[in-house]
Amino acid sequence: MSLLAMNNQKDNQLADQKLRRIMGYILLGAGVGHFIFPSGLDAIVPSGLPGDPRIYTYLSGLAEIAIGLALLSPLTAQIFGKSLRLWGAYGALALFIAVYPANINMAIEWSDRPMPEPLIAYARLPFQFFLFFLAWKLIKSLKQRSV
């Protein structure tokens, strides 16, 4: 392997490490936010789901905290023979997909609100695809390093 290729690989690993940490801390903070400010999040839970919206707010908050902690876990931590970090990246992708209906619901519900609220709600929809991509990129990177 050439020196240039080795430097490029090292740069990619550092970028992925930063991405993993940033995603971990953001999910951890967002998860805690579900317990501190739940009412705003209760409002975007789709009404078709059974039960109290607060349950979904707390469950998604717990999931975000668990995934954030997994992404920030030590390199040696494993579950079922796989890196806890890798499980965290899979969890992040699954979570981002699972909460997408709430973002759609938010865009619909907020369409009659004064600006900039509808703009914010609609901007979240394509941004979610960016999060899907980042989680997928992290999965690929972590899988490569665990081989």
Please give the Cα distance from 88 to 23 (Å, whole number): 10
Examine residue 2 and state whether it is found in any structural domain, yes or no.
no
Tokens 């930063």 identify what position? 18
- Residue 146: the pLDDT is 61
Examine residue 5 and state whether it is found in any structural domain, yes or no.
no
22 is written with which tokens? Answer: 């940033």
The total number of structural domains in the chain stands at: 1
Examine residue 1 and state whether it is found in any structural domain, yes or no.
no
Residue 147: pLDDT band (50, 70, 90) is: very low
- Write out the DSSP string of 54-97: HHHHHHHHHHHHHHHHHHTS-TT-EETTEEHHHHHHHHHHHHHH
Examine residue 43 and state whether it is found in any structural domain, yes or no.
yes
Examine residue 6 and state whether it is found in any structural domain, yes or no.
no
Examine residue 25 and state whether it is found in any structural domain, yes or no.
yes
Give the pLDDT confidence of 96-121 residue by residue, as tens digits: 999 898 899 889 988 898 899 899 98
What is this structure's pTM?
Answer: 0.84
Examine residue 4 and state whether it is found in any structural domain, yes or no.
no
Examine residue 84 and state whether it is found in any structural domain, yes or no.
yes
Say what the alpha-carbon torsion angle 32, 28, 73, 78 is, to the nearest 10 degrees. 80
Look up the domain containing 113 and give its range. 13-146
* Residue 36 clears pLDDT 80, i.e. is over it: yes
What does the buried/exposed string (b/e) look like for 31-69 if buried means 16 or more CB atoms within 10 Å of the residue's CB? Answer: beebeeeeeebbebbeeeeeeebeebbbebbebbbbbbb
Query: Is 44 within 8 Å of 107 (Cβ atoms)?
Result: no
